[in-house]
Amino acid sequence: MMLRVLLLLILPLYAVAAALPVPDQGPALRIQGSNTIGAALGPALVMGMMQYQGLQAVHSEPGDGANEQRVIGKTRQGRTVTIEVAAHGSSTGFAALKKLSADLAASSRPIKDSELVDLEPLGDLKSPEAEQVIAIDGLAIILNPQNPLNTLNTEQLAQIFNGEVDTWEALGGIGGPIHLYARDDQSGTYDTFKELVLRLRGKPLAPAKRFESSEQLSDAVSQDPQGIGFIGLPYVRQAKAVAIVDGDSQPMLPLNSLIATEDYPLSRRLFFYLPPSSRNPWAKALVDFTQSSKGQAIVAANGFIAQQVQAISVEPRPSMPADYQAIAREAQRLSVNFRFEEGSASLDNKARQDLQRVVAYLKSHDKLHKQVTLVGFGDAKNDPQRAALLSKLRAMAVRRELVRNGVVLRDILGFGAQMPVAANTADEGRIKNRRVEVWVH
């Protein structure tokens, strides 16, 4: 009921899109994959899209199994349209695409190389049309509200969830033995935690209480004084989130602004994967609706971070380079970082979509003429001087794209490997550190 009320508040003035064909039998669209997406966000986006399509009496019903839903609406001619959403974990979405039992995969992690090869008959699922970033999420590390600890680093997290550190006293806290809570093996949340924290340090997960449901995990931690768990940002609920440090980064809470820019160490992207071979018009309609301002409003209403561009004031800190402090005093940072395909200066799929969002923001705020400064960063894998050069080259790559869209830049700066947002000890961290920020004056 709350979901319907929320949607009615957000979507009162929808124009009706061109009608899509209604199948004679079976669902119009089958979505499988991530519980993080499928529990609430996916059905909400489906309901919004169906209303945009002019369907009436749109509502959701429980599906045939646990964590499954059917979203149902009627055309003006009285025909029923059903869309099925199954939320059993990201891996199940790709498996369902292979078996042709799903039209669209929802995933809270990027597609794996093995899955990409496995699904080659459906087309290139890493192409810009296939791989669609629909929202940004942050993995929050949650404790019982009475736990006095406020900060943990990613190395400590690995030791805790590996069982190497098994008491709160070893971390400077109190409470005795640590109780671990984790999502199940099919979960994209677990895959992300494993990739960001455990695998990079060669540490498997110690025995833990496992959950398919994000809500149940969070509630269990909030009721256990010795508990610790990891969860998607919307599911912190009554638990306490702690600040996270990765390498030489500053301690960062899972704040919206830090997750939007993907600076927060445990931030992640949420995806729809639409096979290039798809001929399902409902799948393409849902992807397009999700990327629209209306769809991104639903993303935000469901507790995730929308990809709408906003200007953020940044407080200068003594640890920042002097030139960066000067920018922070004079300008505001846009809530997007341009990132690049691994090992290149080519924008990744999210950056290509963000480019158009940034241009639209600059046009609507009259910032096209010498009101934008680009700030590039690199990583310290080898030579710091090379990192400084590459940071500026990546900023120049963004400049080329903006100039094509009528933007006249005010300045372009490169700060090399300074101000890392992740550890430079692994490829994943270095990729996050290779970024370009956009500042508006």
Give the tokens for residue 47. 């309901």
CB 353 within 8 A of CB 362: no
What pLDDT is recorded for position 5?
43
- Helix (H) / strand (E) element for 374: namely strand 372-377
Q: Which residues are registered as beta bridge partners of 209? A: 181
Between strands 68-74 and 80-87, the pairing is: antiparallel
Please count the residues of the chain: 441
What pLDDT is recorded for position 341?
76
Instruction: Indicate the CATH number for domain 138-260.
Output: 3.40.190.10
Per-residue DSSP letters for 229-266?
EEEEGGG-TTSEE-EEE-TTPPPB---HHHHHTT-STT
CB 335 within 8 A of CB 312: yes
Write out the residue limits of the CATH 3.40.190.10 domain(s) in the chain: 2-130+274-301, 138-260
Longest dimension (CA), the chain: 67
What pLDDT is recorded for position 194?
87
What pLDDT is recorded for position 384?
67
CA 378/CA 262 separation, integer angstroms: 15
Q: Specify the fold of 309-440.
A: 60s Ribosomal Protein L30; Chain: A; (3.30.1330)
Question: Does the domain spanning 2-130+274-301 belong to CATH 3.40.190.10?
Answer: yes
What pLDDT is recorded for position 123?
98
Give the tokens for residue 145. 């509200």
What pLDDT is recorded for position 380?
66
pTM: 0.82
Q: Write phi, then psi, for 418 (nearest 5 degrees).
A: -70, 160
CB 439 within 8 A of CB 336: no
Contacts of 438 (CB under 8 A, 6+ apart): 333, 334, 336, 338, 358, 372, 373, 374, 375, 398
Q: Which residues are registered as beta bridge partners of 182? A: 210
CB 32 within 8 A of CB 106: yes
Locate all alpha helices (DSSP H) within 53-121, ordered by sequence. 90-98, 113-118
Give the tokens for residue 290. 């999700």
Q: How far is CA 76 from CA 12, 56, 403, in A?
A: 18, 7, 46
Give the CA-trace dihedral at 52, 87, 107, 180, to 10 degrees.
140
Each residue's pLDDT, cut to its tens digit, for the chain (441 residues) gives 445 444 544 554 444 566 899 999 999 999 999 998 999 999 999 999 999 999 999 999 999 999 999 999 999 999 999 999 999 999 999 999 999 999 999 999 999 999 999 999 999 999 999 999 999 988 999 999 999 999 999 999 999 999 999 999 999 988 899 999 999 988 878 888 987 889 767 889 999 999 999 999 999 999 999 999 999 888 999 999 999 998 888 899 998 889 999 999 999 899 999 999 999 999 999 999 999 999 999 999 988 899 989 999 999 989 899 999 999 999 999 999 998 876 667 888 999 999 999 999 999 999 999 999 999 987 766 566 777 777 888 899 899 999 999 999 999 998 888 888 877 666 666 677 889 999 999
pLDDT in tens, 97-125: 999 999 999 999 999 999 999 999 999 99
Write out the residue limits of the CATH 3.30.1330.60 domain(s) in the chain: 309-440
CA 119 remoteness from chain centre: 23
CB 255 within 8 A of CB 241: no
What pLDDT is recorded for position 2?
45
Per-residue DSSP letters for 298-353?
HHHHTTSB-----EE-----TTS-HHHHHHHHH-EEEEEEEEB-TTSSSB-HHHHH
